[in-house]
Structure 1
């Protein structure tokens, strides 16, 4: 696993051994960022189930100015901290060891807002995808922001959540990536 592009291109990232996390493969990550747009100019990324931080770090490498990383698993959290330090993103990153639901409640209290949100919970925890509604209802995502959900091919996410619509869905083996943004003229 490595950073694919941007100012930290080629930087190897440490992943957790075992089945507690499921890192996004380099191939899927490259395709995902080609869809989002290869580079960003500023903005904030929220990586809600960060694991080793591959998606959020990739967004920082491609030009996002600030990253917030949430990870509950202690081994993954340790790797996340090491990867952020290795990539020299400590000054523009916040890292929290917390459950995503609790962390989201704290971010809502702070009136936090992100331009890009990655939601990649364990595939067997379908209830976590309900967080998309909380994210939208509480303005955690900017009006022109994008929510990216990575999920198992057997789970069908809704075409619309509040004022956001699924504008694209890509399948990679047993993984599906669903992209949400605000429906034109709403919000």
Structure 2
């Protein structure tokens, strides 16, 4: 696993030990950022089910000014910190060990909007509809922002969710990427 492009291009990233997380493959990560970027001119990102932090770090490498990383797994949090230190992005990141729904509520109280929200939940624990509701309730997506969901191939996400409209859906092996923007 590595950073695909940008200023940290080529740096290797650690994976979370054990089998509790499913890292996004480099192929899927590259496809994701080619769809939504591929580069950014600043902005804030939220990596909600961060795992190793690879998606948020990729966003930082490609130009996001800051990223909030959230995961509830203790080993994932340690891995995110190690990867941020290795890539030199510690000062551009906030890392929280928390449940995704509680984290969205906490972030929502800060009156912040994100240009990029990355959702890569464990395939067996999909709560996308609830998450979309909280993103809408707390106005977490900036007007020109993008939300990207990585799911299993068989998961069907809605065409609309509050103000979010499905822009694009692409499949890569057993992984599906779905991109939402504000309508």
Q: TM-score by structure 1 length?
A: 0.95
- Where does residue 164 of structure 1 map in the other structure? 164
CA RMSD in angstroms comes to 0.9
Deviation at 1:153, TM superposition (A): 1.1
Aligned residue in 2 for 1:6? 6
Q: Secondary structure at the match of 2:123?
A: coil
Question: How much has 1:129 moved relative to structure 2?
Answer: 4.3
Question: Structure 1 residue 127: deviation in Å?
Answer: 2.2
Aligned match of 1:107: 107
**Corresponding residue for 1:176?**
176
TM superposition shift of 1:164: 1.3
Secondary structure in 2 aligned to 1:11? coil
CA distance 1:172–1:76, change in 2 (3 Å): same
The aligned residue for residue 34 of structure 1 is 34
Task: Identify the residue that residue 132 of structure 1 maps to in structure 2.
Answer: 132
Aligned residues: 183
CA distance in 2, matches of 1:127, 1:39: 29
SS at match of 2:70: strand
Distance 1:63 1:127 in 2: 29
Q: Report the CA distance between 1:128 and its aligned residue.
A: 4.3
Which structure 1 segments of 5+ residues have no match? none
